[in-house]
Amino acid sequence: MHERLIDNPSVVEATRRWVEKAVIGLGLCPFAEGVYRSGGVRFHVSEQRSAAGLLEELRSELLFLHASDPRVCETTLLIHPWVLTDFIEFNDFLQLCDATVADLGLEGEIQVASFHPQYQFAGTRPEDIENHTNRSPFPTLHLLREASVERALAAVPDPDSIYQNNIRRLRDLGYAGWQALWTDERES
């Protein structure tokens, strides 16, 4: 956790840098650039300090996204730097996220993807570079419109290859390359 980043503008700026340098810059999500460049990403920083409070805020954000014009707000990054900082707790919370989507009747309309500074895929070690495909500066819930995901996937010849390509890209980049992405931050 970045204790030095304590205000919302700093949290958003760190998340924007991650989106620009890792998600878009490394091509980890081939669909992100268009939505990001068009201003369709909502960055919402939660001030919640409990999982229960975050769950209520998630409900509000899901309803907000559902009611929003996709041309104005295509997707939401719900960044929560003060709660669920432990990856295991965060990972367990994802079941509640899916249940909340279902409770709101939004299954098939909105899905929740997850990013965390300690993200670890099953079957990997914490230090494995491929975990960085889902490592964000702060715990983040990504609310996505299902229709957008389906349109984006339809444009990709082999959607299953995205994950494998990301692993290969990060392994080729290595830790030194990953660290070099952030070098300019330390120099300024």
Mean of pLDDT values over 30-59: 95
pLDDT score of 27 more than 60: yes
pLDDT at residue 4, as a whole number: 45
Q: Tell me if 77 is assigned to some domain.
A: yes
pLDDT at residue 6, as a whole number: 60
pLDDT at residue 41, as a whole number: 97
Domain count, the chain: 1
Domain around 104 = 8-179
Q: Tell me if 186 is assigned to some domain.
A: no
Q: Tell me if 187 is assigned to some domain.
A: no
pLDDT in tens, 64-106: 999 999 999 999 999 999 999 999 999 999 999 999 999 999 9
pLDDT score of 3 more than 70: no
Q: Tell me if 1 is assigned to some domain.
A: no
Q: Is the Cβ–Cβ distance between 72 and 41 less than 8 Å?
A: no
Predicted TM-score (pTM) of the model is 0.92
pLDDT in tens, 102-141: 999 999 999 999 999 999 999 999 999 999 999 999 999 9
pLDDT in tens, 135-181: 999 999 999 999 998 888 888 888 888 989 999 999 999 999 999 99
SS (H, E, C) the chain: CCCCCCCHHHHHHHHHHHHHHHHHCCCCCCCHHHHHHCCCEEEEECCCCCHHHHHHHHHHHHHHHHHCCCCCCCEEEEECCCCCCCHHHHHHHHHHHHHHHHHCCCCCCEEEEEECCCCCCCCCCCCCHHHHHHCCCCCEEEEEEHHHHHHHHHCCCCCCHHHHHHHHHHHHHHHHHHHHHCHHHHHC
Nearest one of 81, 99, 102 to 90, comparing CA atoms? 81
Q: Tell me if 33 is assigned to some domain.
A: yes
pLDDT at residue 188, as a whole number: 46
Q: Tell me if 188 is assigned to some domain.
A: no
Q: Tell me if 137 is assigned to some domain.
A: yes
* d(C-alpha 34, C-alpha 31), whole Å: 7
Q: What percent of the chain has pLDDT over 90?
A: 82
pLDDT at residue 30, as a whole number: 83
